[in-house]
Amino acid sequence: MWKILVVDDNERNVELIVETLEGIAKCQTAKNGEEALTAYNTAITGQNAFDVALLDVAMPGIDGIDVLKAIRAKEEERGIPFGEGMPIIMVTANKEPFIKAYRTGCDDYILKPIDPEKLITMIEEKLSNK
């Protein structure tokens, strides 16, 4: 079973993702960037690292792009080469922020409203490449 970090400030979006992944993934949720980074940092200190992160781009405070940057920086500190870290899929309502996220190191993006089948296929593809 996959372990996935789901980060979105919209509770309904989180519920839809968790429902979509029910039975195939254990989801840990965060409602903002601060919670996401705490969850990520806690997971990597133990043996419970996430397989994938789904990050909402637009959140108050620390947004998804900043969370992405922080995760990639932490991977670099740990000696994980760029492109070989945890797959990160940005969740966004429009494509424009994805270009910035891609340059920062995200692996893919999915547009809201999320197509459940597309999300599962995307995660499967990212994990099969690891």
Mean pLDDT of 102-119: 92
pLDDT in the model for residue 130:
65
pLDDT in the model for residue 33:
97
Ordered domains of the chain (ranges, CATH) = 2-128 (3.40.50.2300)
pLDDT above 70 covers a percentage of the chain that reads 99
128 pLDDT above the threshold of 70: yes
pTM: 0.95
97 pLDDT above the threshold of 80: no
Closest CA to 27 of 129, 128, 125, 123: 123
Q: What is the spatial distance between Cα 39 and Cα 63, in angstroms, rounded to a whole number? A: 15
45 pLDDT above the threshold of 80: yes
pLDDT in the model for residue 95:
76
